[in-house]
Structure 1
């Protein structure tokens, strides 16, 4: 199969990626939790309190962000799968996310 551009024929890959279920991948992760230093934190809790509809409760596949019974934002960084979605999805850029210190974090295994 090929694709014509500017009078030249460019090859087109005919590849299908395998179906991947995120829940199946999360179950296979190994966590090395740094109990002394959280690698995710909320910069300003007042911003979270005023935020509506709190998209952070939906965009994190590991449900790291939750609210307590008083509506305050809590961060369970120990469950983080380091996807980085919180860095880009918070409309107020109110999440401080760093890679965990060396030796901590998620150990991924493919296959």
Structure 2
């Protein structure tokens, strides 16, 4: 038995605001990604924001990124992912539920 109440995904997400910047804080180098066979970023992203295409490219939808850094930490290809913090006042904000 857990000490925490069960909370639905929808209720959890209702406490998250995304202030989308015009500048992507994560960029993916498609040329590097084409040679990747493991696709760690696709499998590990908790928000499912990495999308592989039929031609080997990986697209990244930064608009609802939690900024956890998992993709950057797990990617095993030098230079495939460039991660920076979003501009001030932009990005993800967690509110008390």
Q: By the TM > 0.5 criterion, same fold?
A: yes
Corresponding residue of 1:92: 77
For 1:22 and 1:39, the matched residues in 2 are separated by 28
User: Structure 1 residues 27, 66: closer, same or farther in 2, change over 3 A?
Assistant: farther
For 2:44 and 2:74, the matched residues in 1 are separated by 7
Q: What do you get for the CA RMSD once the two structures are aligned?
A: 2.3
Instruction: Note if 1:109 corresponds to 2:85.
Output: no
User: TM-score, normalized by length of structure 2?
Assistant: 0.79
Q: Indicate which of 37, 46, 49 corresponds to 2:31.
A: 46
- TM-superposed deviation, 1:46: 1.9
Determine helix, strand or coil for the equivalent of 1:30: strand
Instruction: Note if 1:28 corresponds to 2:15.
Output: yes
**Larger-Rg structure:** 1
Deviating above 2 A after TM superposition, structure 1's stretches of 4 or more consecutive aligned residues are: 16-28, 68-71
For 1:54 and 1:41, the matched residues in 2 are separated by 15
Ranges in structure 1 where 5+ consecutive residues have no aligned partner: 1-15
For 1:103 and 1:72, the matched residues in 2 are separated by 30
Equivalent pair of 2:40/2:71 in contact (CA under 8 Å): no
If asked which structure has higher relative contact order (CA below 8 Å, sep 6+), I would say 2
